[in-house]
Structure formats: structure tokens, C-alpha cells
Structure 1
Amino acid sequence: MASILGKMITRRFFKGSVNKVFGSEDPYFEEIAEEELGRKKKGSKRRRPPPPGLSQNDTKVLSEVRRRAYHLDMSLGFCCCGIGIGWSAVISIIPGIGAVIAAYLSYCVVQAANKIDGGLPNWLYTKMMTNVIIDFSLGLVPLVGDVVDILYKANSRNSLLLENYLRERGKNNISNGNFPL
């Protein structure tokens, strides 16, 4: 009973706040709209399609960043509160060095994102590195830092920041008549 109550409270509090800021928590999957469900049950998910108007390189980079973010933040399923956990949370459990390894893996996600055509703009790179630094700093606190690492999901935030930036770039490419190859 307490587990169900905890799950309801956690979902309402944390998912609502993440959805307000980023639109979706999961960088890799999206929920299928009710009109498209057909025979599938409500809540079914599918991979997010890439935004239209992007070059092949940008699409490839976005796919790689999404995949890495998903593995680090959500791939291992859900904990008792209904929040997804990934390898970053497991690695962070190791005292001392775990936070450093998790921060390095998050840095690798940012470096992968920097491979888009023309590289990341400075403002976006700064936002992404700030997420990594916040996640690392909070992860240094014993025990509480592990919980905060599970909730903060810096990699998913960075993936969604990149996707929003590339979505705008794609819209500009389409409106200007620049269709990348």
C-alpha cells in the first residue's frame, strides 16, 4: 500500500515538473497517441522519429545521443517509485569514483552531441555542461546524491535540449528551402 502511494506521489510531483520544462522525460521513446493506437494498449511507446529537415549526420548524432542518454538514465526499468533508472544510477552507487565515472559518461554524451554539423552553439554547450556539473556535484553527496542522480537525469535533459535545438534547425531548413542531404 505504501509503495503504491509513494509511486503516485512521485509520479505526480516529478513527472509533472519534468514535463513542464522539457515536454517528455524519455529521450528515446514517445507514447503513441490515442488516435494511432489501433489494437495496442493505452500507454504503448515507440521510438521517437527524428525531426524533419535535418542532415543525415545530424539525424545520426541525435540518434546516438538519444540511445546513450536512454541507457544511462532509463534502460534498467523502474524503481519502486515508478521512476526509470539506468546505468548512471548504478555506477553512482560506487563511493567516490562512481560519481566521477558517471560524470565522464555524461561528458561523453555532450561530446557526441557536439558532432552535429557546425558543432553545438556556445549557449547550448554551456547548458549541457551545466547539467553535467550539477549532476556530478549532487552525486558527490553520499546516499542522497544517488537518489538525486536518479531524479535529475542530466543525460535525458541534454538529449532533449539537443533535440529541441535540432527541431528548430530543421524548421529553419525547411522554411528556407535548404533540404540537407
Structure 2
Amino acid sequence: MESPERPQTLSLQLPTGTDPASIRARVEAVELLLERSFRIPGVNVPIGLDAIIGLVPVIGDFVTTALGAYIVWEARNLGLSKWHLTRMGANVAFDTVLGLVPIVGDAADFVFRSNTRNLRIIKKHLDKHHPETRVIEG
């Protein structure tokens, strides 16, 4: 008797190191999860957990704020300047304040993607100060 096939599972192992390449991989994974992990069928618009969790009043916004703050914390570990950290914190704070406004905040998650903006700031820093972490996307 043949054994039934086991369903395939998708596993993602993120590096745990403190080197710039490991931090880059973790931040990119969090940004992908929060901003672009799903596509809305029919319109093909990417959304992530930020928009979905943000639908839960108050609690959802604080959860997504904590995840956005994690990206800022990793940027601090990379040694980004206070100016860049302030900009990144302002992006997260603005997203949080928008998210607290019913309906408007949920719609704003499709337009203002603070985590994507913060990832862009981190990538610029890494490309300039740690070019060996650069990933060529094909």
C-alpha cells in the first residue's frame, strides 16, 4: 500500500546574524510580508498584512506599528544616521496616525506604504556603505 503524499510546505529561513547582509534579508522579508505578500484578484494590486491587520480597529494599527518599528530598529543596528532614523520613525508614525482614522486609514494603506519607504532608505544606506550586500534582481 502506497503512503499518501504529504503536502509540500513552504519554509522560509531568515539569517539570524548581525552582519549587514543578514539584516538586509530580514528587513526585505518583513517589508514583503507587510506590504506585498498578496495580490487582490482581478485588479492585481499587491497588499500585505499591514492592510489586512489594519482592518482590526486600534489593535491592528498598533501591531503593524510595532512591526514597522522593528524595521527602524534594524536600521539603527546598521548605523543609519539620526536624520534617516527620524525620517523612518516619522513614516511609521504617519502611517499609524492615518491608520487610526476609520475607513480613510484603511484606504491609505494602499497609497502610503511606510515600510516600503523605510526599506528604500535602508537599501540606499547599504548600497553605499556595504555594497557587498547588494542583490541583483533579475
TM interval, shorter chain, is: 0.7 to 0.9
Q: Deviations over 1:73-117 (max 9, x none)?
A: 11022365433100111110001221111111111121122222x
SS in 1 for 2:46: coil
Bigger shift: 70-79 or 131-140? 70-79
Q: TM-score normalized by structure 1?
A: 0.59
Alignment of 1:50-65 (within 5 A): 57-65=19-27
Q: Which of residues 63, 67, 74 is equivalent to 1:101? A: 63
> Could you say if the C-alpha distance between residues 165 and 142 of structure 1 is closer, same or farther in structure 2, counting changes exceeding 3 Å?
same
Q: Which of residues 58, 63, 70 is equivalent to 2:32? A: 70
Residue in structure 2 matched with residue 85 of structure 1 by the alignment: 47
Comparing both chains, which one has the higher relative contact order based on Cα–Cα distances under 8 Å and sequence gaps of 6 or more?
1
Distance in 2 between residues matched to 1:139 and 1:150, nearest whole Å: 11
Q: Flag structure 2 segments of 5+ consecutive residues without an equivalent.
A: 1-17, 133-138
Identity, in percent, stands at 30
Residue in structure 2 matched with residue 163 of structure 1 by the alignment: 123
Distance in 1 between residues matched to 2:43 and 2:88, nearest whole Å: 27
Alignment of 1:35-46 (within 5 A): none
SS in 1 for 2:47: coil
Distance in 2 between residues matched to 1:68 and 1:141, nearest whole Å: 24
**Alpha-carbon offset, residue 162 of structure 1:** 0.4
Q: How many residue pairs align between the two structures?
A: 115
CA contact (8 A) 2:69 2:89 kept: yes
CA contact (8 A) 1:62 1:113 kept: no
Q: Flag structure 1 segments of 5+ consecutive residues without an equivalent.
A: 1-55, 174-181
Letter in 2 for 1:149: D
Distance in 2 between residues matched to 1:146 and 1:138, nearest whole Å: 8
1:123 aligns with 2:123: no
